[in-house]
Amino acid sequence: MRFQFLAVALSSTVIAVGAMPPVTAQIPFLPYLQSPNLLIHESEKGVETGWVYLDGRRLFQIAAPKGSLTERLQDIQQKLDQLSQEYFQKSDAEPNVQIRTEKN
């Protein structure tokens, strides 16, 4: 009798500790969840980052799936350069300056 109790207790402990993650032992109705660290590392494998420049200076950084970063960078850079050129080619691009004097 004592041997059976010991065998059942030992085997249930081995099953509970070895087969189930610690969270499941505490909250048995939750499904098995993967560790968040594994998910982050898998998603980082397919992402590249690059800088967009304006007048030779870093403006902002973008991210894109591997293989499409160069195309995305070129597209954004081309649009930004076009907007910059259009702005500076306007004849009415004089700044509107107002000087206010306040008495304290």
The pair of three-digit structure tokens given for residue 78, joined into one six-digit string: 């081309």
25 & 54 share domain: no
Nearest Cα residue to 61 out of 44, 79, 77, 83: 77
For residue 84, the model assigns a pLDDT of 86
For residue 61, the model assigns a pLDDT of 93
Provide the domain limits for residue 5.
1-33
pLDDT by 10s per residue, the chain, length 104: 666 777 777 666 656 555 555 555 566 555 665 555 655 555 556 889 999 998 888 999 999 988 889 999 999 999 999 988 888 887 675 667 788 888 76
Residue 72 counted as domain residue = yes
How far apart (Å, rounded) are the C-alpha atoms in residues 35 and 39? 7
For residue 29, the model assigns a pLDDT of 59
Residue 41 counted as domain residue = no
Residue 5 counted as domain residue = yes
Q: What is the pTM of this model?
A: 0.45
